[in-house]
Structure 1
Amino acid sequence: MGHGAGTKVDMPDWRIWKVEGTPLQTVQERLAQRGLRDPWLRNEAWRYSGAFARPPTVFNVVFRGFGFGLVACAVAVGVEYMLFPPKKNHH
């Protein structure tokens, strides 16, 4: 119960997100032509700013986590050789 009650989460101010310059601007303009307004449109503007504005590349998708996996593999192989050293059988 509680799950972190009393801890304050720092949320960014809603006024920092701007619809202008994003694909949402065309939606806003089309709604304005019909005399409509979407008050929640600004809440989706974060998707088009910062790191989210850059489209993913094939390289990023394929090699995401590759460094961590390589380190984990090296640690696993090292532990295996320490705990179970290879037998030196001469035939």
Structure 2
Amino acid sequence: MFRGLIARQARSILIDPYANAFMQDPAAPTNLPWALKDETVMKPGVKLKDEINNLNSYIESRKSESSKLESALAKKHNDYNDLRKQRDELQEERKYKRTWRNR
């Protein structure tokens, strides 16, 4: 199923790399009314491979940022748990001192 989807998307990209829409007939040059009058100048230096690489770099940078945030969050969570543990120990100590004084 995924292979078919990827193949169809590749055919659509070959037909119109910028619009890249799912067309009714992927073999047709175009069946989109707006595309018949499209006068978009395709830049010679821009290739689909470059666009994909740029998108991939962006995704990788977001993954990196996400993992940094996750590790920072995990550290804060551990710090929070340590503080709760200290608080609980102090409360137990106070409770022990109160019971000791009342004897």
Query: Counting helix residues as a fraction of each chain, which structure ranks higher?
Result: 2
- The two structures have a TM-score, normalised by structure 1, of 0.33
Could you state the TM-score of these two structures normalised by the residue count of structure 2? 0.30
Q: Which has the larger radius of gyration?
A: 2
